[in-house]
Chain A
């Protein structure tokens, strides 16, 4: 079975739950930025939770189906249409052989997950079908979709149509988005007052926001604790001897614009980091549009682990609802 790409959208890539185990040589996890939405889309169509889907950013693709399939669209509010007829998001629906799946303009969020029964059947590379565009690895020929591509789709009966996830189980960022973070790493490099206003200020998502990382601007610059720079670090006070970057870590080059690294993170570099966004809030970042507002909220490890538990519980409820 295949799906033909009529229009690719802005940046549509094949993603699953990622490729752990190669970060030590600079190959990042990749996979859906909003993992909960990705898993939900798969469950709706009757796939296993980690099956490969399409992640569409800001704009949907136009796809022509060569066989019947069950489809679900979750994550961002990107309303689907089948041969022009509107369909609900977060709800399974059928697409028949020869029909075309298209999308309206984005209403909310940033990334939609399009699951097709049987899953996108591109080759598994280093244990995953996810696309790592920067390294031209995995996914469909290591790149985003282009018009004319023929996407292979696996065999799968597909669940029935009309299966839906209740609205209260669809997690989305608020306005401003509250990103919980655990201070640490090189937090000691900034002054106490800088540490205070980092949390007080409201930040805005910059246009440079992609799978590698999300840049924020608009808050006050961070002042550094003076020091003689260690050998090998470089002369700027925001420089460190190049080190590993955790997923979700917040680096602030020059002390001005925080960058939160995401699923296609650069694995290391020479900028200091003030802490790390908790694992439970990583999905939310994937749904932030440029120019929307966000705040960083300080939490303890106990609170971070509680947030992780809550996220897991939400997923359990979501599964139970089907």
Chain B
């Protein structure tokens, strides 16, 4: 599973990355988490705000730190 956290490096983006990693660990899933900091790349996803979370190419959340339960739901949803 490919997970990308988009954000130039503000504190919210770092928290998001941390929560995503925790959610993955708790869900017991092996997934590749990549932090995208390049503005051009971020803009390419068509998001209007950061931090944003992209799972397997699909934008899941924009402009906020997602809740851990939410992330787990996304993780579960994409496996099936």
> Are chains A and B native binding partners rather than an unrelated pairing?
no
